[in-house]
Amino acid sequence: MKDNPLARLRMYNQYISSPVFSKPEDVVKNMVAMQAQDYAGAKWAVGLRMTSAKENIVEQAITDGRILRTHLLRPTWHFVAPDDIRWMLALTAPRIHAINAGMYKKFELDSIVFNKANEVFIKAMQGNKQLIRAELTDVLTRNHIPTDELRFTLLLMHAELDGVICSGGRIGKQFTYALLDDRAPATPSLTHDEALTKLATGFFNTRGPATIHDFANWSGLTIADASTGLEHIKGHLISEVIDGKIYWMPYHTTTAPTKNKAYLLPAYDEFAIAYKERDALVAPKYREQARYVIFDPVIVIDNQVVGNWKRAIKTNTVDINYNLFGKLNKVQTTRLAAAANIYKKFIL
């Protein structure tokens, strides 16, 4: 399969082909923010970037609050480090509120309702309490705040964006919410430009080679703000023009082409979700089959998407089913089996 340098360097800078971390929280810290809409897949996204990982270790980091999960960018769920969550929310929340404004209006949610809901959340969870969604629905209802249709989801998201609540540890398979003040330390505030610089640094160091449009699409920022962030860090990056587009990446970006190396990546992995255009990730002959590449778990061989996979967890085993877009050679088949075994060891 023909080497694609964009995909190869992204695999390297995203720590997929070059895992160096022993702690799950260090992965999240270095990646700045990682999409976590698919919770099980997001844990694997962290694990595959570690030198050795088990799902329960990643889960424990989330339970302990060393990794937080909240609505942060675009908006959707993301993993983020506790000491990064406040400055990032201050930067991105106004933009997300603007995106959500139509929904707020549709469901008659205004500042009076949001402030009242925040007060209810603070009172209900003070003392380091962590509550499941049903408990929060109940407490809002008792305080005469409607939670029907999408109102409850919007109230929770707004409270997250206000820095009032974030994820707690799971109770069984149920997610909980906790007060952000109980889960994250107070940190110095950043100016708007400082926050843009910090977010841009994290993005281009770990997602490069990437364009300014990739950064804006990933962060949900305006092109103007994204450009400001990039402008502040250009001196620490190198650039290359490919097909008329400027790609930015860190100076340390260097890696030789690989042959027959296989990976199983989860749905919504940053390998795909971080980029506005994803043609570099898929061999041309497979682009039609892989048009929904960000939504499904994918098989990557030689840094190119060559199929999809699904898992079926049983009592003591994990079955993995493949949907390959084409034929693999014997070496690739062996490497794919090895990648599957790494995932199985992570789960079991």
Same fold, 84-186 and 192-250: yes
Average of per-residue pLDDT across 8-22: 96
- 3-state class of 142 per DSSP? helix
- Hey, what CATH topology would domain 84-186 get? Arc Repressor Mutant, subunit A (1.10.10)
Record the tokens describing residue 176, joined without a space. 């909980």
Average of per-residue pLDDT across 48-72: 97
Average of per-residue pLDDT across 36-51: 97
CA distance 130 to 175: 9
CA distance 125 to 178: 6
Q: Residues 6 or more apart from 74 whose CB is under 8 A from it?
A: 96, 99, 218, 219, 220
Average of per-residue pLDDT across 34-47: 97
Record the tokens describing residue 275, joined without a space. 């980029």
Pick 313 or 54 by higher pLDDT.
54
Q: How confident is the model at residue 81 (pLDDT cuts 50, 70, 90)?
A: very high
pTM of the prediction? 0.95
Tell me the CATH class for 192-250.
mainly alpha
Average of per-residue pLDDT across 177-197: 96
- 3-state class of 233 per DSSP? helix
- Tens of pLDDT, residues 270-311: 999 999 999 999 988 898 888 888 899 999 999 999 999 999
The predicted pLDDT at position 260 comes to: 81
Where do the domains of the chain lie? 84-186, 192-250
The predicted pLDDT at position 209 comes to: 97
- Residue 321, CA distances (Å) to 298, 309, 313, 324 in order: 11, 6, 11, 10
Mean pLDDT, the chain, rounded, equals: 95
- Tens of pLDDT, residues 238-266: 999 999 999 999 987 667 777 889 999 99
Pairing label, strands 131-132, 318-324: unpaired
306 C-beta neighbours (distance < 10 Å), count: 24
CA distance 217 to 211: 10
- 3-state class of 48 per DSSP? coil
Q: How confident is the model at residue 1 (pLDDT cuts 50, 70, 90)?
A: low
